[in-house]
Amino acid sequence: MKSLLATLALTTALTLPGLAMARPVTLTTTLNNYGGDGAYLAFYVTDASGAYVGSLWMAGHKSKYYEHLSSWYAATGGDAAQIDGITGASVGAGRSLEITLDLADALFDAGYTLHIDAAVEDMRDSPNEIAVPLTTAGAGQPVQGRRYIASFVYR
């Protein structure tokens, strides 16, 4: 499998008030061969009540197409400031994206959920392609997406 490694070290992706401790977390997303063009992926976190907390990464540069990441777009209104400095290239079918970022300790085992919205040109938009709770036990456990993501794992 072709692997596209976008290894990125971000100082603090999610700054929450009063959370000093953080740990490096690697998110590995592998797409299946869905037979379309490169996928746009939005990585973001919601709290226990389902409210949007912040964005971790945006794969895809053209803001024109962000509305197709419909859950992310509904939560943020497409606000470019949410993904300022954490935007990369879209991910081709069959390829992997690896992101390393510092996530606050307090996000784990506290009811937070990591979401990935996916969209591909001329194919169905897939909001909430992935929705996994952030837990220490869940680290290293691969999950499968609905339509485009073959596996996603954080550790």
Partner 1 sequence: MIRALHRWPGLLALALLAVLSLSGAALSVFPAAERLSAPQPGAGQSVADLAALVAATHPGLEEIRRSPSGRITAWWFRGGTAGSAVVDPVTGGDLGPADPNPVERWLTNLHRSLFLGDSGRLAMAAGAAAMLVLALSGAALIARRVGGWRHWFARLRGPIAGRLHVEISRIAVFGLLFSAGTALWMTASTFNLLPDDAPRPPLPAAISGTTRLPIDRMAALRSVPVDSLRKLSFPQEGDLQDLFTLVTDSGTGLINQGTGEMLAWAEATPWQKVSETIYMLHTGQGAATFGLILGLLALSVPILGMTGLLVWAQGRRGWTHPKDNAPAARARDVILVGSEGGSTWGFAETLARSLREAGQAVHVAPMTSFDPNRYPRAERFLILAATYGDGDAPEAAKGFLDRLGGMRKPPAAPFAVLGFGDRSFPAYCAFAAEVDRLARAKGWASLLPMDTVDRQSPQDFARWGRALGDALGLGSGPIDFVDLA
Chain residues binding partner 1 by CB under 8 A are: 34-37, 61-64, 67, 74, 89, 122-126, 128, 144, 146-147
Question: Which tokens sit at 64?
Answer: 């024109």
Q: Which is nearer to partner 1, 65 or 133 (CB)?
A: 65
In the complex, what is the shortest distance from the CB of residue 91 to partner 1, in angstroms, rounded to a whole number? 13
Q: Which is nearer to partner 1, 100 or 128 (CB)?
A: 128
In the complex, what is the shortest distance from the CB of residue 149 to partner 1, in angstroms, rounded to a whole number? 10
Phi, psi of 88 (to 5 degrees): -135, -170
Task: State which amino acid sits at residue 27.
Answer: L
Find the angle CA(116)-CA(1)-CA(113) to the nearest 5 degrees.
Answer: 15
In the complex, what is the shortest distance from the CB of residue 76 to partner 1, in angstroms, rounded to a whole number? 13
Neighbours of 103 (CB within 10 A): 23
CA gap 154, 104 in Å, rounded: 14
In the complex, what is the shortest distance from the CB of residue 20 to partner 1, in angstroms, rounded to a whole number? 36
Q: Which is nearer to partner 1, 100 or 147 (CB)?
A: 147
Q: Which is nearer to partner 1, 117 or 125 (CB)?
A: 125
Q: Of 138, 36, 133, which is closest to residue 91 (Cα–Cα)? A: 36
